[in-house]
Amino acid sequence: MRAKYVMSEVFLGLWRNISMTVAMIITMAVSLTMLGAGLLLYNQVDVIEEYYQTNLEVVVYLDRDITPEMTDQIKAELEDSGYAAQVQYESKEEAFERFKDTFEESEDLVNAVEAEVLPAAFRIKMNDINDADKLIADFSEREGVYQVTNQRDILQQVFDILGGAQRLTLIVALVQGIAALMLVANTIQVAAYSRRREVAIMKLVGAPNWFVQAPFVLEAVFAGVIGAIFAFATLIAAKFLVIDGEFADLFSLMPPIQMQSILLLLPILTGISAVISAITAWITLRFNIKV
């Protein structure tokens, strides 16, 4: 009975102030989408790190016109250097095969590159990847070596980009989140004002505080949950339409974002949103409805 009363008050409150309710839900949805994206990126960095941890290599690219003797000589030097656990030669043809595999889906790109242009290389599994700089210092100036790259350096750039994107999403999430909470506080104030008669009478006849406050807090929680659901839907749509759709090629260089981690966001976002909205509403009430 009382629950029915509270629920009808909640929906009446949201409906009476519909424009504010919509604004509240939209800002919450934007904030939570950004928060969700930020969390996914955070997770993605972990996944990439783990994925490459064991596979990181230092690659010694050889000059295009190198002689077989020189190649053997460099190989021997690499093996003797003490840094390398395993040295594997990759011929021009193999390099081209690998290139074709990587860009399988971009036919134009593959067609545009000739097998000749890709250099032969030594792919080196390091004993300790932290020695990579020393190895690079020793070999990059050597005759017959075109360039030495550490995959970790390339990865570092990817991390930097992901980290930047993550910071950006979290900043937007924070700013939008603050706006959303201000809207919540405002909505609650308006709701408390429009129900001031009921509230005064409830307090006069001794309704428990939680009962007086429940409709307001639930209004905020309801908006928070709807906002979280919208944010979740946006993230799902982004996965299917952007990451797996339009820009699939771009994202195929990274390990895919797992559906599972997006699904996990639903309870996380809903929980965060509901709890923070409820706390905001409750604090607002403490200043507005004194007992």
| 198 belongs to the binding site for another protein (CB under 8 A) | yes
Contact, 9 vs 215, CB < 8 A?
A: yes
Task: In angstroms, give the least distance from the CB of 206 to another protein.
Answer: 4
243 touches another protein by CB under 8 A: no
CB of 276 to another protein, least distance (A): 24
Using CA atoms of 214, 215, 216, 217 in order, give the dihedral in degrees to the nearest 10: 50
Q: Which residues contact 219 (CB under 8 A, 6 or more apart)?
A: 10, 13, 14, 187, 188, 191, 281
Choice between 17 and 27, CB closer to another protein:
17
Number of other residues whose CB lies within 10 A of the CB of residue 73: 15
Are 29 and 227 in contact by the 8 Å Cβ rule? The answer is yes
Give the number of residues in contact with another protein, rule: CB under 8 A.
Answer: 18
Residue selected from 18, 85, 112, 291 as contacting another protein according to rule CB under 8 A: 291
> Does residue 1 bind another protein (CB under 8 A)?
yes
Q: Is 201 an interacting residue with respect to another protein (CB under 8 A)?
A: yes
With CA atoms as reference, report the closest residue to 118 among 146, 154, 76: 146
Stretch that binds another protein, among 34-42, 134-142, 183-191, 194-202 (CB under 8 A): 194-202
CB of 275 to another protein, least distance (A): 22
What backbone torsions phi and psi does residue 19 show, to the nearest 5 degrees?
A: -65, -40
3 scored as a contact of another protein (CB under 8 A)? no
H or E segment and range at residue 159: helix 151-194
Could you say whether residue 211 binds another protein (CB under 8 A)?
Answer: yes
Please name the amino acid found at residue 279: I
Residues that bind another protein (CB under 8 A): 1-2, 5, 197-198, 200-209, 211-212, 291
